Structure 1
Amino acid sequence: MLNLIQHLIVLMKKSIYTLLALLLFHFGFTQNPNRVYQSHNEENGVFSVTTNDGKYMFQFYSEDILETTFIPNGENQNLNSHAVVLKPQNIDAKYKYVGNVISYSSKSLSVNVITEPFQVSYSYQGKPIISEKRGYYKSAHQPMEMVKGNIIADETEKIEFNLTPDEVLYGGGARALGMNRRGHRLPLFNRAHYGYETESKLMNFTMPIVASSNQYMIHFDNAPIGYLDLDSKKDNTLTYETVSGRKTYQIIAGNSWYDIIENYTNLTGKQPMLPRWALGNFSSRFGYHSQKEVEATIAKFKEEKIPVDAIILDLYWFGKDIKGTMGNLEVFRDSFPDFEGMIARLKTQGVKTIPITEPFVLTTSKKWDKAVQKDILAKDSIGNPARYDFYFGNTGIIDIYKPEGEAWFWDIYKGLADKSVAGVWGDLGEPEVHPNWVQHHTGTAAEVHNIYGHDWARLVYEGYKRDFPNQRPFILMRAGYSGSQRYGMVPWSGDVNRTWGGLQSQPEIALQMGLQGLAYMHSDLGGFAGANLDDELYARWLQYGVFQPIFRPHAQEDVPSEPIYRSEKAKRLASFAIEMRYRLLPYNYHLMALNHIEGTPLMRPLFFEEPENIELYTYSKTYLWGQDILVSPVLEAGLKTQEVYFPKTANWFNIETDEIIEGGQTKAIELHPAYIPTYVRAGAFIPLAKTMQSTEDYDANTFQLQYYHDASVKESEREFYFDDGKTANAIEKGMHELLEFEAEQKGAWLNIEFEAEIGDNYNSEAKQISLTIHNIQKQPKRIKIDGKKLEGKYNSEYKTLTLDVVWDTSKEKEIRIKLNK
């Protein structure tokens, strides 16, 4: 053995591969003992390994993404992916066969096959990341009680892997389990959980994704229902399990968490830019019963001077009653006699209208006979429209997989868009009730259940792209699949209980979904379910909502969700939070652009900042909103202080008081009823908008720019994206500008420079900027802008310097400040 190790060390020194590490990694594990290597081949960018029971096929999509497919004997390769849109790139993959180890590698990612005993393992930059245990196999289905009637099979197909003992695991879609999901067997079956709080093992939006604290992801590229077992038996085993379908998975790696998410969203698609108004405040409840109620609500927002950008209509827009009317999907004129006029009047006030839709057509609805006649419903086993009962009545479900069903459904959306409806709300898209015996055009309920919401979003997105190509769609849905972000889906976390427990699970859910590509996961602010009238809870939830992707209070009508109908105290606190949300619009809009370009989530766990800090891998009580804002939501009643961890990568300014806290410590912070602990990274530039009643009033050419000067940051640079907020594909069309701000301290001089990159088809206007520089301890000795002296306004109490700057973006702007020590 010593000679073998010495030989391997020599090979490593000659850079023929890190085989020692790989073999040592392998020695700790075992593969399926019945799998026997027979041969291998490399052809046209695909590396294959034939065994006694099937064939492995390995293909790189990029230097950091490798796909593995196992095709059992007697089966053909299934190329149909619902998640992947990236085409395999032509990379310079290297093949090596040394001893009994076959390696197929990009510059950074490698699959290593040991021929005897058979073993498949993966490494990134020479470091082992994961290996197959038994790999693919079949065995008896072990049903879970919670999905006993939903996941039905005698036998299931599995792919099994080895885990290292200390890995923290994320993924599986939206769940409330704590950040570390290891130790759970998770059903992959989209299903609503009404009134959940701190724990929900199964929710509306499941995904076959696992991310590891060892900085890799596995995406199981298969649509049918099943399970993810994240070491539930405590034997260091990860298992993907399905009732049918592909035996395909992708390994996604990267040098940082940001790289991994960018690679994953390259694979499954980037989120398109939302319309800018989507970052504003929504008026939403279950529900507004009439046109009169809708218009009175918006009038009340205007009267109270609380900003609002959209109103969401629940199912009363198409019927008077909750039950019996679903599927009408046309305006109920008794309650909304001038629906089109209402939308037009709201639009002139800067308020968009978004009605709910569902994929169910009740047998009592106006459209049942037409749906049957047009043959657009899913079928039963003998070819009749599938009918079954659920809460809202006896129903069928639209078969969106049938071309006629897709066209019929889109015609309804097109008709609404023609009435100037600004967005789509798709509810119950799990689908909420979806019996196993239902047959769709392309497969069984089990095969399409988890992708129904995904393809529903696709239907809407592609319809807008085809018929309204210049409009950015807004698509609010609560169920989907891997890659649903590319269809512009904005998911929410379902019918959460209106309790402190309900609030406590929300940061975790949003952070986990951002990690899995769905960056716009958000919650019904204030909570949805129950009649809990708790103003402190309501205010704290809305304060958290300032720093979650979509600001949408929503609730059952037992308790008002809108701040205008709450107590004076709650209304005042909510108004303060909403105003902060609007002031952050230019910062938040840049986060939207970053997500579109790079896949970067808006909410980011702190282990992104300190990947070497293992304690942060299970921490969600404090997170980053974008790169530069640190947020610690208040999640318990009656707290006077709260412990906050400050990442060691920076010093942090209290956004309200300018107190500076040194990074790398946990500190007890005194709480304030009007806001949650919020801090800005030293060296950051933060653009702030003026107050507004809706985003229609937003002026992108006039803003405040806050620079958080600190001696610990000698150089700092930030950029912010601007466009008209509504044109689809503005970046691709060159209809945008990127404003760059740079600060550098040299000796006693603080130099700040402005520079702009203007798209070829963007008409950039002069900017009126009120620049405030924080942490200037004394009145500066001298201030120059483009070489001309300026006085500026120095505030000795807050230690800030404010300069009014007019900037022609076709030219660079230079500001020089001589500090007074």
Structure 2
Amino acid sequence: MKNARIAHLALCLAASPLATAQNAERQLQGFTRSQDTLDIATSDGRYLIKPYADNIVETTFIPAGERADPASHAVAMAPGQVQATLKDEGARLVFATPGIAVTIDKQPFRISYAYKGRPLVAEKRGYGRGKEFETIEFALSDGEALYGAGARAVGMNRRGHRFELYNKAHYGYGNRSELLNYTMPVALSSKKYAIHFDNPQTGWLDFDSRKDGTLRYEVSGGRKTYQVVAGDSWDEVMAGYTGLTGRQPLPPRWAFGNFASRFGYRSEAETRAVVDKFIAEKIPLDAVVLDLFWFGKEVKGTMGNLDWDRDSFPHAERMMADFKRKGVKTIVISEPFVLTTSKRWQEAVERKVLATDERGQSATYDFYFGNTGLIDLYKPEGRDWLWNIYKQLKQGGVGGWWGDLGEPEVHPAGLRHGGRPANAVHNVYGHDWARLIAEGYRKEFPQERPFILMRAGYSGSQRFGMIPWSGDVSRSWGGLQSQMEISLQMGMQGLAYMHSDLGGFAGPVLDDELYVRWLQYGVFQPVFRPHAQHEVAPEPVFRSARAKVLARQAVWLRYAMLPYNYTLAFDNSQTGMPLMRPLMFVENDPERAVDRAGTYLWGPDFLVSPVVEPGAARHEVFFPNSGSVWFDLHTDAVHRGGVLEVVKPVEAHIPVFVRAGAFVPMARVVQSTRDYTGRQIDLHYYHDASVAASNGKLYHDDGETAGAYEAGKYEIVRFNSRYAGGTLAIGFATETGKAYPAAGRGFRLKVHNVQARPRSVTVDGRAVAASWNARHKLLDVQVPARRQLQAKVVVVL
């Protein structure tokens, strides 16, 4: 039976449009199989094909005269014990796992991939060498949409573009940017597969810019290795890709709160006043972010001091301790540059901390901030020196790290890093910077989750806990318009916490409408962090009275959603599913959603459509999935799926809708997540007769212990619903980790869309006095607090 299936796969590939892909010059000369690897000898080199899982396979080409380089910056998964079969059918070889089949046609030589009988992609010319680049080419199908290549703003379907792979800042960008701080050599297809090119060196990723049906990877040197990840659904592709490159550990709970940040607070007195003003204005706050003035009075000339300027921050440790008592963490900026005018320059030179020139001397060059050297993360002297500075600062009270300019922003090609040229490490520099902090915490502070905010990295940086942001976006409507696409695309590529400087960063633009709309969007994206140049205040406490009221409402909603958002983050840490998700992840007619970014999903349950134009009197929302039902979060008005609908925007919030059958746990607003206990939860259930069964959950732990779930220090409350014959049953079942001291947890169950007063309501078989609001069609049932709650609510409608 298995042989028949393999033969069928080969016939499918032979009949597919990908069968035209070929390289007439390459000839197969032989093959061997050792353990889990298929080794194919060709006229110009060797192919090594190795499965990692049923739906992940890696292919490496080693040109004649070269040696295999086994090192990968991206891959975290070890090759699995996969039951792969090899069949020689004469004209072709078929190397197949239970999911992916790799077919190697012998003459002409061609490698193609299928998943469960579904053709995916094939090498076109495969590997080639040109004057400037080494290339790997694939044949694409007609109508196939492509995503990936890192952070860009060019439209969701990126086919037709050629993207440079060189992390580079784009100051003040608006609604379009072809090159930003964070590039990745990965392509995802609407056919539900991904190809990751496992090489951080600089180059290009061509998404069929020549309109000849070719995906082309062009690189300056290094490995010729790629992985193909496939799935029946986007959930499976995301799980496979993040299983391969690593999953984001759960951030500290305070990371889901509000941040006070600007460029920048210049003194201890000013910083204290800002924190106290948030508290006085009753706008919740969990972190204050200090830009470069914490180590120097001027923008230029001081970078690399990496120590408190005691004139401006005379009692920094006491300040941070005071903030901590108020529930506010202190985050400080650092950059990888040490200026020749900084206090640490001579120390850095003497300790051989810096990247070198061709003579082996500490290299210097000019950029905006002054004459500088660059910390070399690729030799132990540089890593140890930088980590020891971080360790000392942390012991003094620093609660989180902001790594800026880590592309690196200016990076001369002649620099040497641990013996390697700049282009070999440029795209992975931020990745290894995040790795330095993550590994330092695992060694020195193993119980604590680090907070690592950085704007540049590489494939797999999420496994170090990196939280990226979208760079120096302009304070403009165009700047806001590009943010959904950037975050959605990065989430698809494993970086689920990509977010923006809320309100926009660059330019002295005072536009309260833009500011409020950006913050309203910020409620439903990964990190709520207004940040901007100082000329116009980014903090809501300094805005006009009306803007402050609307901003406060947005922050309150963000805090009310903490139980939902934290559970969503837990799911990401376990499955790799992003927090922000494109509509095509759920749309039952994917062609209708392939290029939509303006409306997206926040987790599995919210449909969000930010207002991104000034004075908008009408707003289009696409409701996915014909037959589904969506409820307006604020009015409970019903909307049907499969429809492009025009709604009227209101000032107080952006259009947000909740899926019928959703369980949404919400909390009472606190001034800081330090005050959140989760002991009393408002559990909203969105009932509709079309939903016969549904489920959801609430994840809870102490919010700070690293690896809490793995250590058994957690609680999960699972919810389920069943509806039939006019009776709605909602169940609660608690799972407690082996090391978790269970606490009493009560729920106020709020059932939406109950059209008439129920005939009866029971909790565990006992009748209870439930409240029904006729105007809002809302049923309110109190479920008493219990440890390890197991309960059942039955509503007879």
TM range (shorter): over 0.9
State the Cα distance separating 1:14 from its structure 2 match: 6.8
Matches within 5 A, 1:177-256: 177-256=154-233
State the Cα distance separating 1:24 from its structure 2 match: 1.8
Q: Counterpart of 1:79 in structure 2: which amino acid?
A: P
Q: Counterpart of 1:818 in structure 2: which amino acid?
A: V
| Residue equivalent to 1:156 | 133
Matches within 5 A, 1:715-730: 715-730=693-708
Residue by residue over 1:732-753, the C-alpha shift from the partner in whole angstroms, topping out at 9 and shown as x without a partner, is 1000011011111231321111
- 1:755–1:809 Cα contact (<8 Å) kept: no
State the Cα distance separating 1:811 from its structure 2 match: 4.7
| Residue equivalent to 1:642 | 619
- Choose from 711, 733, 736 the match for 1:755: 733
| Residue equivalent to 1:509 | 486
Moved more, 550-559 or 713-722: 713-722
State the Cα distance separating 1:269 from its structure 2 match: 0.7
| Residue equivalent to 2:674 | 696
Moved more, 22-31 or 777-786: 22-31
| Alpha-carbon distance between aligned partners in 1 of 2:520 and 2:768, rounded to the nearest angstrom | 38
Q: Does 1:68 align with 2:46?
A: no
Q: Does 1:596 align with 2:579?
A: no
Partner secondary structure for residue 765 of structure 1? coil
| Alpha-carbon distance between aligned partners in 2 of 1:196 and 1:212, rounded to the nearest angstrom | 27
Partner secondary structure for residue 494 of structure 2? coil
- Choose from 257, 275, 298 the match for 2:275: 298
Q: Counterpart of 2:363 in structure 1: which amino acid?
A: A
Residue by residue over 1:243-289, the C-alpha shift from the partner in whole angstroms, topping out at 9 and shown as x without a partner, is 11000000000111111011111111111110000000000000000
State the Cα distance separating 1:716 from its structure 2 match: 1.4
- 2:173–2:473 Cα contact (<8 Å) kept: yes
- 1:497–1:530 Cα contact (<8 Å) kept: yes
Residue by residue over 1:586-607, the C-alpha shift from the partner in whole angstroms, topping out at 9 and shown as x without a partner, is 0000011011011110000000
Q: Identity percentage over the alignment?
A: 52
- 2:10–2:94 Cα contact (<8 Å) kept: no
| Alpha-carbon distance between aligned partners in 1 of 2:724 and 2:44, rounded to the nearest angstrom | 68
| Residue equivalent to 1:782 | 760
| Alpha-carbon distance between aligned partners in 1 of 2:722 and 2:597, rounded to the nearest angstrom | 33
- Choose from 631, 636, 639 the match for 1:658: 636
Partner secondary structure for residue 355 of structure 2? coil
Q: 1:396 to 1:11 in 2, by over 3 A?
A: closer
- Choose from 68, 93, 108 the match for 1:77: 68
- Choose from 380, 389, 413 the match for 1:403: 380
Q: Does 1:579 align with 2:556?
A: yes
- Choose from 706, 710, 714 the match for 1:736: 714
Partner secondary structure for residue 335 of structure 1? coil
Q: Does 1:445 align with 2:422?
A: yes
| Alpha-carbon distance between aligned partners in 1 of 2:760 and 2:17, rounded to the nearest angstrom | 66
Q: Counterpart of 1:130 in structure 2: which amino acid?
A: V
- Choose from 76, 80, 98 the match for 2:89: 98
Partner secondary structure for residue 292 of structure 1? helix
Partner secondary structure for residue 382 of structure 1? coil
Residue by residue over 1:149-171, the C-alpha shift from the partner in whole angstroms, topping out at 9 and shown as x without a partner, is xxxxxx21111111112111111
RMSD between aligned residues: 1.2
| Residue equivalent to 2:289 | 312
| Residue equivalent to 2:24 | 33
Partner secondary structure for residue 156 of structure 2? coil
Partner secondary structure for residue 388 of structure 2? helix
Moved more, 24-33 or 738-747: 24-33
Partner secondary structure for residue 690 of structure 1? coil
Q: Does 1:364 align with 2:341?
A: yes
Q: Does 1:481 align with 2:458?
A: yes
Q: Does 1:112 align with 2:98?
A: no
| Residue equivalent to 1:143 | none
| Residue equivalent to 2:115 | 124
Q: Does 1:460 align with 2:437?
A: yes
Q: Does 1:338 align with 2:329?
A: no
| Alpha-carbon distance between aligned partners in 2 of 1:811 and 1:118, rounded to the nearest angstrom | 62
| Alpha-carbon distance between aligned partners in 2 of 1:347 and 1:371, rounded to the nearest angstrom | 32
| Alpha-carbon distance between aligned partners in 2 of 1:634 and 1:130, rounded to the nearest angstrom | 38
State the Cα distance separating 1:788 from its structure 2 match: 1.6
Partner secondary structure for residue 16 of structure 1? helix
Q: Does 1:680 align with 2:671?
A: no
| Alpha-carbon distance between aligned partners in 1 of 2:127 and 2:229, rounded to the nearest angstrom | 19
Residue by residue over 1:174-222, the C-alpha shift from the partner in whole angstroms, topping out at 9 and shown as x without a partner, is 0011101111111100000000011111100000000011110000001
| Alpha-carbon distance between aligned partners in 2 of 1:818 and 1:725, rounded to the nearest angstrom | 38
| Residue equivalent to 1:4 | none
Q: Counterpart of 2:29 in structure 1: which amino acid?
A: Q
Q: 1:667 to 1:175 in 2, by over 3 A?
A: same
Q: Counterpart of 1:635 in structure 2: which amino acid?
A: V
| Alpha-carbon distance between aligned partners in 2 of 1:27 and 1:268, rounded to the nearest angstrom | 28
| Alpha-carbon distance between aligned partners in 2 of 1:50 and 1:602, rounded to the nearest angstrom | 44
Kindly tell me the number of residue pairs found equivalent between the two proteins: 796
| Residue equivalent to 1:769 | 747
- 1:26–1:119 Cα contact (<8 Å) kept: no
| Residue equivalent to 1:538 | 515
| Alpha-carbon distance between aligned partners in 1 of 2:361 and 2:18, rounded to the nearest angstrom | 57
| Alpha-carbon distance between aligned partners in 2 of 1:659 and 1:123, rounded to the nearest angstrom | 44
State the Cα distance separating 1:30 from its structure 2 match: 3.5
| Alpha-carbon distance between aligned partners in 1 of 2:411 and 2:462, rounded to the nearest angstrom | 23
Partner secondary structure for residue 355 of structure 1? strand
Partner secondary structure for residue 302 of structure 1? helix
Partner secondary structure for residue 617 of structure 1? coil
| Alpha-carbon distance between aligned partners in 2 of 1:309 and 1:763, rounded to the nearest angstrom | 26
Q: Does 1:631 align with 2:608?
A: yes
- 1:26–1:121 Cα contact (<8 Å) kept: no
| Alpha-carbon distance between aligned partners in 1 of 2:712 and 2:346, rounded to the nearest angstrom | 48
Partner secondary structure for residue 480 of structure 2? helix
Moved more, 186-195 or 710-719: 710-719
- 1:198–1:501 Cα contact (<8 Å) kept: yes
Residue by residue over 1:120-140, the C-alpha shift from the partner in whole angstroms, topping out at 9 and shown as x without a partner, is 111111111111111111112
Q: 1:128 to 1:27 in 2, by over 3 A?
A: closer
Compute the TM-score of the two structures, normalised by the length of structure 1. Answer: 0.96
Unaligned runs of 5+ in 1: 1-9, 141-154
| Alpha-carbon distance between aligned partners in 2 of 1:624 and 1:642, rounded to the nearest angstrom | 17
| Residue equivalent to 1:139 | 130
| Alpha-carbon distance between aligned partners in 2 of 1:638 and 1:809, rounded to the nearest angstrom | 50
| Alpha-carbon distance between aligned partners in 1 of 2:631 and 2:23, rounded to the nearest angstrom | 55
Residue by residue over 1:314-361, the C-alpha shift from the partner in whole angstroms, topping out at 9 and shown as x without a partner, is 000000000000000000001001000110111111000000000000
| Alpha-carbon distance between aligned partners in 2 of 1:121 and 1:568, rounded to the nearest angstrom | 62
Compute the TM-score of the two structures, normalised by the length of structure 2. Answer: 0.99
| Residue equivalent to 2:50 | 59
- 1:632–1:678 Cα contact (<8 Å) kept: yes
Partner secondary structure for residue 377 of structure 1? coil
Partner secondary structure for residue 186 of structure 2? strand
Q: Does 1:277 align with 2:254?
A: yes
- 1:12–1:18 Cα contact (<8 Å) kept: no
Partner secondary structure for residue 17 of structure 1? helix
| Residue equivalent to 1:569 | 546
Partner secondary structure for residue 618 of structure 1? coil
| Alpha-carbon distance between aligned partners in 1 of 2:18 and 2:299, rounded to the nearest angstrom | 61
Q: Does 1:258 align with 2:249?
A: no
Residue by residue over 1:652-703, the C-alpha shift from the partner in whole angstroms, topping out at 9 and shown as x without a partner, is 0101001111111111111111100001111111111101101011121111
State the Cα distance separating 1:54 from its structure 2 match: 0.5
